[in-house]
Amino acid sequence: MSICSKDHGIAAGHGNLLVSFRSVIALLFVTAPIALQADSLEVAVSANRIEDIPLLKLDKNSFPVVDNFAWRAFIALNWPSLTDVNNRGAADPTKMLGEPGPRVWETFKTRYELFPVGSDGNPVAPQPWNTYGAVNPCGAGINAGEKTIASFEAFMDFNQTIAPGVPVNPLVAQNHTYTRYETHVNEIGYTTLGRFSLGENMPDQNNPLHMPAGAIAVKAAWRVLTEADTAAIRARYYIVENANIVDTDKTLATRGVVCSKRDIALVGLHMVIRTPHRPQGIWSSFEHIDNVPPAGSGEAREPDARDADAPYSYFDASKPKPTTSIWPKLGSPDALAVNLDNPPNKNPTPMQVTRQYPINSSTMEVNRAYWALPEIKTTVWKNYMLVANQWPTFTRIVDPSNDGIYYPDARGENLVNTTMETYVQASPSSCMSCHRAFNESGRDFVGMLGSFR
């Protein structure tokens, strides 16, 4: 039995990865059924992700297994989606990864469809899954099938968050634009969380929420493109053209959300996937490789945009590195959350961002293995890297007092995304440094319940 039999092209030229995969296999054979482990290590460019990770050792050798799960999920969720209303969230089996069109996760329900607001400003019930008819924050004329990044409360989608419902700080790119954030949930997630759309009967410690296996939540960060983004730069990104996004000037003029059409580029993607064996979810995060300069060295060195003659999205190489992970630092005026009372600048000063901790070297090894696959290397997806994974090791009983004992926690590694947790990279920082608290309050690690709309 060898994983090579299920191997899709990773063998040639990628001996190192194979060696580490093999050593993982050797360790796992002690306790695990062979078929399950072989599946977990199958490197493939496929619209089908790996369903679960049933068994794992609690040591660094488990990284490649979880990293592989994350890459397979990233590929499956970024597969071109069917676009008719009856197939929301379903991959188009006739298309290849590199073909245009909305991605599977983009046809999941958006946050504004999950927590809709009526014309009187009050919460209303969500619509059935197979619809695109929800009220759009950009206005009644725009249907939910059109790419929209906006919130009903003006400018909330410009902010990063630390605690549920508490927007804390924006992120300005080198091209003087505010980064925009959005969240999507798949059908199981939508049905489960939709029970709370009216803002009533929220789960708490006595009535805790249980997200079922199969639920998926995705949070994405987008950079708005300007004339500074040449054709060569644009070619490096997954881009959505003519997306409806909040127009700062018009929104400030009317004090109501007004949108305009702009091209936007994907710079960060968080994914949380609940599985039967990992009910607290497998937490993974991907970033565009041009966001910031590399932090690692040797085997852990991330790609450097400068090697491709491309600019960093969030770092100016002609200026000094900030002493914290970002300038302006947390708490300074330009780093405060933007809203109608503390409005975004019309021409904001770019921020200077670094990655504080390098990515785990074995994660970089898996990144390189995927980038080398023919079906990845010819697409924009070769410019995205896995930066972090967290997974629960103690998965039962699932309740507010069982945080899953996440691995690998508090190891001083970069377990954050430079586009989404830019300001809070200092160790110990990880998905769980925030989301654990949401479980303690009975919300099964979910952050956006009872939040802004």
Residues lying near ligand HEC in the complex (CB under 6 A) are found at 161-165, 183, 217-219, 270, 272, 283, 285, 388, 415-417, 421, 424, 429, 431, 433-435, 446-448, 451
CB closer to ligand HEC, 148 vs 451? 451
183 vs 192 by CB, closer to ligand HEC: 183
* Ordered DSSP codes for 111-179: HHHHS-B-TTSSB-PPPPSS---SPPTT-TTS-TTS-EE--SSTTGGGEEEEETTEEEEE-B-TTS-B-
DSSP string, 293-325: -----GGGPPP-GGGGT---SS--TTSPPPSSS
Angle subtended at Cα 387 by Cα 383 and Cα 389, rounded to the nearest 5 degrees:
135
Cβ proximity to ligand HEC: between 35 and 166 the closer is 166
In the complex, minimum distance from the CB of residue 262 to ligand HEC, in angstroms, rounded to a whole number: 23
Q: Which residue's CB is nearer to ligand HEC, number 290 or number 444? A: 444
Shortest Å, Cβ 71 to ligand HEC? 15
**CB-nearer residue toward ligand HEC: 220 or 310:** 220
Shortest Å distance, C-beta 399 to ligand HEC: 17
How far apart are CB 364 and ligand HEC at their closest, in Å? Answer: 16
Say if residues 119 and 305 touch (Cβ distance below 8 Å). no
Nearer to ligand HEC, 15 or 428 (CB): 428
Minimum distance of ligand HEC from residue 88's CB (angstroms): 18
Return the number of the residue (37 or 433) whose C-beta is nearest ligand HEC: 433
Spatial distance between the Cα atoms of 147 and 87, rounded to a whole number of angstroms: 16
SS3 helix, strand, coil % of the chain, rounded to 5? 25, 20, 55
CB of residue 433 to ligand HEC, shortest distance in Å: 5
CB of 193 to ligand HEC, least distance (A): 9
Q: In the bound complex, what is the minimum distance in angstroms from residue 357's beta carbon to ligand HEC?
A: 12
Tell me the CA end-to-end span of the chain in Å, nearest whole number: 52
The dihedral through the CA atoms of 310, 311, 314, 317 has a sign that is: positive
Residues 6+ apart with CB under 8 A from 311: 174, 233, 290, 305
For residues 160 and 383, which CB has a smaller minimum distance to ligand HEC in the complex? 160
Question: How far is residue 197's CA from residue 216's CA, in Å, rounded to a whole number?
Answer: 17
**Nearest-approach distance from CB 355 to ligand HEC, in angstroms:** 13
Distance (Å, whole) CA 401 – CA 440: 6
CB atoms within 10 A of CB 442: 17
Query: What CA–CA distance (Å, rounded) separates 4 from 11?
Result: 7
Structure tokens, 182: 């959005």
What are the residues facing 183 on neighbouring strands?
219
When the beta carbons of 310 and 449 are compared against ligand HEC, the nearer one is 449
Q: What gap in Å lies between CA 296 and CA 303, rounded to an integer?
A: 9
